[in-house]
Amino acid sequence: MAVPAGSGGAPRAGALPVVEARGVSKSFAGVRVLDSVDLDVLPGEIHGLLGENGSGKSTFIKVLAGFHDPDPGSRLRINGEDVALPLPPGAFRDHGMSFVHQDLGLITSLSVLENLRIGSFSRSRNWAIGWRRQRAEARRLFEEFDVDLDPAARVADLDGTQRALLAIVRAVHEMRTLRGSTRTGPGMLILDEPTVFLPETGRRQLFSLMREIAGGGSAVLFVSHDLDEVREITDRATIFRDGRLRATVETATVSDTELVQLIIGRELPDHSGEREEVVPTAATGAMAVEDLSDERVESVSFALGPGEVLGLTGLLGSGFERIPYLLFGAFPAASGTLRKGAEVLSLPGMDPVKAIAHRMALIPADRQRDGSVGSVSVRDNAMLQVIDRYSTWHGLSRARLARDCQDTLHRFDVRPPVPGLAYQSLSGGNQQKVLLAKWLAAEPEVLLLHEPTQGVDIGARAQIYDVVHEAARSGCAVLCASSDYEQLAAICDRVLIFDRGRVARELFGDEITKDRIAHECYTLADRAVPAGPVGPTEGEGEDR
């Protein structure tokens, strides 16, 4: 059942909140993105934080971290004591708070031990480091949390799960150490979407560690877009929408339907049924990939019709995730051709410049590293692919560029719709919408997607589905490589399932459900599809 926003309803009666936020607000360029938030987090609880991208939850986390200065009138109490705002950089540690962000904040060229102790090394007054003693202490710490890590290993050699566990153990260790030297009372660990890049086994390990931390009396604030995760691991969850705290709920008693309605404030459109028939445009030809291979993909062939959405999936490491990058020339192919209309392109000779010239677009999974320039404005990112349209004999037509960019931001529902805002200040879902706007403005014939809704909230996810469907209706051929089976069931006409670098199964129409895809990935992956292109060839695909 819902606890009214700001009431501070608690699963443990009489407990003094670790953190009490009152009237916390934040504005950017005159736009209020966080509006009078009241939130309590209790000792020993795992407290979920939910909301669409742009709802204000990331801004709230950054206020706690001292990254953003809140508006005047915002108040914060930690373990019953008033804390002056804004917090100076790094001061959150002195108040018993520790953060693990989605990028984990690890230095891959250093060892596990060096990453674990980097904060204490920087604060130490000693001239020398006792490495033997430090390694022994690190092993004891890992044993305490039942984490199997070698202090001498390089972080670059760890898998995603091991890196996430290292980041969390480091955060808890720092929280304990600094709190013990400066303050009393339990601390709070803030996890900002730490599970996005983890396989299922990694999530289980992470959840076990979170329960152990909360069992020791600390509070855990867990930010996630995954409703199943939140319902499984949290005691309570707080929902943000449009910059306001809408409700705090007990996750054991609230339904998914109630959560969705609180998150988006409306009923979500049903994308699981059959997508309306698409009539491809005559100008766009079919695409066929033949004998594509590299170090992890072997002799992959398939066809993709205009106006079709083709999904690629499989277990982690099966090779499906490499296909968009091989087709775009971002990864080198060992062999293979791409037939696009009357053209035959050699994939070993492909590069991104050639791919763009052949009207292909790629939305990568890591949008910050591979798909954007975070330090420049939303406008510069959104209009990059069509900037030549605004060139005149005396320079750029800046007024027309600004007007069209503003229209684009509104059309793609980017929040806030401020062209001059730094791209990196947007939430993940809004960054993704800007990338889609950038590439679709160039009117590609082939749209390549890799995990297009990774780290994106449920409302933005539905909007991205609509964008993909609209691109297909315009005649664009869409290829979506994803490990999100629910997403594939929502948007795809066909799904190819990979195993050991090969296409092992193909699903059509009513076969494409979340459960069926999962079943095929785990049980039928060794039944390979016969060699040769699968799917529609040129001229087919109109009567699906």
* CB of 500 closer than 8 Å to CB of 319: yes
Two tokens, residue 461: 């996810």
Residue 273, classified by CB atoms within 10 Å of its CB into exposed (0-12), middle (13-18) or buried (19+), is exposed
Q: Around Cβ 267, how many Cβ atoms within 10 Å?
A: 9
Residue 543, in any domain of the structure: yes
pLDDT of residue 541: 39
pLDDT, one tens digit per residue, over 211-239 is 988 998 999 999 987 788 899 999 999 99
Two tokens, residue 131: 């490495």
Residue 374 reports pLDDT greater than 90: no
Which of 410, 427, 442 corresponds to the end of one domain? 442
For 37-51, 152-166, 282-296, which range has the lowest pLDDT when averaged over its residues? 282-296
Residues of the chain with pLDDT > 70, as a percent, come to: 85
Residue 408, in any domain of the structure: yes
Q: How many residues does the chain have?
A: 544
pLDDT of residue 10: 39
pLDDT, one tens digit per residue, over 246-259 is 999 999 999 888 88
Query: Strands 446-450, 360-363: parallel, antiparallel or unpaired by DSSP?
Result: parallel
The average pLDDT across 290-294 equals 97
Q: The domain spanning residue 302 has which CATH number?
A: 3.40.50.300
Two tokens, residue 320: 């499906």
pLDDT, one tens digit per residue, over 144-160 is 888 889 999 999 998 87
pLDDT of residue 461: 87
- pLDDT, the chain, mean: 84
pLDDT of residue 9: 37
Query: What span, in angstroms and rounded, lies between the C-alpha atoms of 478 and 471?
Result: 8
Q: Judge if 410 and 528 occupy the same domain.
A: no
pLDDT, one tens digit per residue, over 334-351 is 999 999 988 999 999 999
Q: Judge if 23 and 137 occupy the same domain.
A: yes
Q: In what order do the strands lie in the sheet with 31-41?
A: 31-41, 19-28, 75-78, 81-83
Residue 470, in any domain of the structure: yes
Q: Judge if 172 and 86 occupy the same domain.
A: yes
Residues of the chain with pLDDT > 90, as a percent, come to: 51
Range of the structural domain that residue 104 is part of: 2-264
pLDDT of residue 183: 54
Residue 326 reports pLDDT greater than 90: yes
Q: Judge if 522 and 398 occupy the same domain.
A: no
Residue 523, in any domain of the structure: yes
Which of 197, 232, 264 corresponds to the end of one domain? 264
For 321-325, 428-432, 521-525, which range has the lowest pLDDT when averaged over its residues? 521-525
Confidence tier at 395 by pLDDT (50, 70, 90): confident
pLDDT of residue 529: 44
Two tokens, residue 406: 């503003």
Q: Around Cβ 24, how many Cβ atoms within 10 Å?
A: 24
Residue 531 reports pLDDT greater than 70: no
pLDDT of residue 277: 42
Which of 231, 264, 297 corresponds to the end of one domain? 264
For 347-361, 449-463, 489-503, which range has the lowest pLDDT when averaged over its residues? 449-463
Residue 174, in any domain of the structure: yes
As for how many domains the chain has, the answer is 3
Query: What span, in angstroms and rounded, lies between the C-alpha atoms of 485 and 472?
Result: 20
pTM of the model: 0.59
pLDDT of residue 7: 36
Residue 271, in any domain of the structure: no
Two tokens, residue 471: 């691109």
Residue 163 reports pLDDT greater than 80: yes
The average pLDDT across 440-466 equals 90
pLDDT of residue 540: 39
Residue 270 reports pLDDT greater than 70: no
Residue 367, in any domain of the structure: no
For 163-177, 289-303, 324-338, 426-440, which range has the lowest pLDDT when averaged over its residues? 163-177
Residue 451 reports pLDDT greater than 50: yes
Query: What span, in angstroms and rounded, lies between the C-alpha atoms of 71 and 89?
Result: 17
Q: Judge if 433 and 454 occupy the same domain.
A: no
Query: What span, in angstroms and rounded, lies between the C-alpha atoms of 164 and 187?
Result: 20
Q: Judge if 183 and 213 occupy the same domain.
A: yes
Q: Judge if 347 and 381 occupy the same domain.
A: no
Q: Judge if 316 and 420 occupy the same domain.
A: no
Confidence tier at 442 by pLDDT (50, 70, 90): very high
Query: What span, in angstroms and rounded, lies between the C-alpha atoms of 500 and 108?
Result: 28
> 508 phi and psi, to 5 degrees?
-125, 155
Q: Judge if 185 and 235 occupy the same domain.
A: yes
Query: What span, in angstroms and rounded, lies between the C-alpha atoms of 385 and 210?
Result: 43
Residue 79, in any domain of the structure: yes
Q: Judge if 245 and 297 occupy the same domain.
A: no
Query: What span, in angstroms and rounded, lies between the C-alpha atoms of 219 and 222?
Result: 10
pLDDT of residue 53: 65
Q: ∠489-336-542 over CA atoms, to 5°?
A: 40
Alpha carbons within 13 angstroms on the beta-carbon side of residue 255 total 3
Query: Strands 477-481, 446-450: parallel, antiparallel or unpaired by DSSP?
Result: parallel
Q: Of 58, 148, 166, 149, whose CA–CA distance to 107 is shortest?
A: 166
Q: Judge if 154 and 82 occupy the same domain.
A: yes
Confidence tier at 445 by pLDDT (50, 70, 90): very high
Q: Judge if 72 and 201 occupy the same domain.
A: yes
